Structure 1
Amino acid sequence: MKLKNVLIVVKDIEKSRQFYKDLFGLDLVLDNNGNMILTEGLVLQDEKIWKKFLGKEIVQQNNACELYFEEENIEAFIEKLEQSYPSIQYVNKLITHSWGQKVIRFYDPDGNLIEVGTPM
């Protein structure tokens, strides 16, 4: 068995698709009317569909998980992030862990937690 995808819930699927394209270069693999599969296995699910399926409210910024990306030139990434999405909500701006890895954490437009770190 192997993990195939990670699904996140979004309010505006087109806006989210563009966000992940702009910042991480993820391209559309499949658009299935409210369910988009992007490269690297990220799936965007329309909030209305997910809510109907679960029968429960969606809890944004639940801080229970995060998407993790690695970027060698993290300073250039931060510049692109701040130019493209100046109102982005940070959890923490650039920090350096005791083991030398640099990381930044922020929320996507739907409150999904993202971490970008330098390779270890």
Structure 2
Amino acid sequence: MRLKNVLIVVKDIEKSRKFYHDLFGIDLVLDNDGNMIFTEGLVLQDEKIWKSFLGRDILPQNNACELYFEEQDIEVFVEKLERLYPSIEYVNRLMTHSWGQRVIRFYDLDGNLIEVGTPM
């Protein structure tokens, strides 16, 4: 057995598709009416579909998990993030951990936590 995808819930699937493509360069593989599968194993699902499966409310910014990306030239990424999404909500701006890795954490358009770090 192997992990196939990671699914996150979004309110506006088209805005989220653009967000993930603009910032991370991931491309759409399959658009299946409220479910979008992308390269790198990311799946976006429309919030209405997810709520109907669970029968529960969605809790944005629950801080229970994060999507982690690595970027060699993190300063260029930060500039792109600030230019394309100036009102993005940060958890922490670019910082350096004690072990030398540089990271930035922020929420996507729907409160899903994202971390971008330099390769370890």
- 1:118 maps onto 2:111 in alignment: no
Structure-1 residue corresponding to 2:87:
87
Q: Which amino acid aligns with 2:110?
A: D
1:24 shift after superposition = 0.1
Q: Which amino acid aligns with 2:8?
A: I
Structure-1 residue corresponding to 2:71:
71
TM-score normalised by structure 1 residue count: 1.00
| Structure 1 unmatched runs, 5+ | none
User: CA-to-partner distance for each residue in 1:52-90, whole Å, 9 max, x for gaps?
Assistant: 110000000000000000000000000000000000000
Measured on the aligned residues, the alpha-carbon RMSD in Å equals: 0.3
Q: Please give the alpha-carbon distance, in whole angstroms, between the structure 1 residues aligned to 2:57 and 2:71.
A: 34
Structure-1 residue corresponding to 2:15:
15
- 1:59 maps onto 2:59 in alignment: yes
| Structure 2 unmatched runs, 5+ | none
Structure-2 residue corresponding to 1:98:
98
Give runs of ≥4 in structure 1 deviating > 4 Å: none
Percent sequence identity over matched residues?
82
Secondary structure class of the residue paired with 2:72: coil
User: CA-to-partner distance for each residue in 1:20-48, whole Å, 9 max, x for gaps?
Assistant: 00000010000000000010000000000
